[in-house]
Amino acid sequence: LEDRFNWRYHYPYIFLNDEDFTEEFKEGIRSITESPVYFGKLPKEHWGLSPYVTEEKVKEALERNRDRYLYGGSYSYRLMCRYQSGFIYKHPLLKDLDYYWRIEPDVHYYCDLPYDPFKYMRDNKLVYGYTISPVEKPETVETFWDTTRKWILENPDYLQDKSFIHWVVNEKGRYTTCHFWSNFEIVDLSFYRSEAYESYFEHLDRAGGFFYERWGDAPVHSMAAAVLLRKEQIHWFEDIGYHHPGYSHCPKNPEMAARCVCGGGSDYMYRSMCSRRFGEVGNIFKDQVLELAALPDKK
């Protein structure tokens, strides 16, 4: 990311961890960038078991799901998903930021980016930006849509006049499991800080699905964006070639591709059902959202 983009703009890097970073790690990071770098530790009240679940039931759930799917038995993975869903934007080091770009270890950026995506987001009144949109494993989110639709019906005042919910829930009320892969996201943080999003996260946390199932921050962020935003507020950064273990994307557009160095198997987004659906469906009106949420949950 430094070589592809930030050497031009010198936006600050913020590294967060549940433990203190070593001085060796800090020195290593500072040696490869001239941008400001900040290191923070997660507040204990943000990283831990939800007050709405019990240790005994969480242990039972971890054992039950251990062999059902990836990270099925991982407690730390669930802590991470809950933190990314409802607390990262509350960290003191992020309090003065209007936008953030999430970056993770073991990712690769394939393309030079000759413009400022934060400015692009602001100038175009965009709220959420992504690169890859896969489907989630249904076993990890068995009660997620049912929990969400109950929140929608209880909180209709939080909805805009139009919503992009049809991307994540089809016309028959079935959850598509489509989501934005949130290991990359560029977000207007006023969205996560909003009363609507905070209410939604609190509702999910009370339901216990972060621990009893394996609700990830990607489905949570994506459902919130689809329900609470309009399609024109969400942007696919097609020109940002990106790899995270599991999926890769590189642009096919010749003008975009000229700035990239890509390996094989980087055409996922041009084969993705969720990408295709994103192009096919549009916004629906608020009363239609409520009608959709009132349909029985169809597994």
Just list the catalytic residues: 185
CA nearest 225: which of 267, 166, 147?
Answer: 166
Give the CA angle between residues 8, 9, 14 to the nearest 5°.
125
Q: Which helix (H) or strand (E) holds 129?
A: strand 128-130
Q: Which residues pair with 174 in a beta bridge?
A: 298
Cite the DSSP H helix spans in the chain: 7-9, 23-30, 55-65, 75-86, 117-123, 144-154, 189-192, 195-207, 209-212, 217-228, 254-257, 273-280, 286-294
Distance of CA 116 to the CA centre of its chain: 21
User: How many whole angstroms separate alpha carbon 201 and alpha carbon 217?
Assistant: 10
Return d(Cα 299, Cα 270) in angstroms, integer: 27
The token pair at 179 is 């989501």
Instruction: Say how far apart CA 12 and CA 103 lie, in whole Å.
Output: 12
Owner of token pair 């549009």: 282
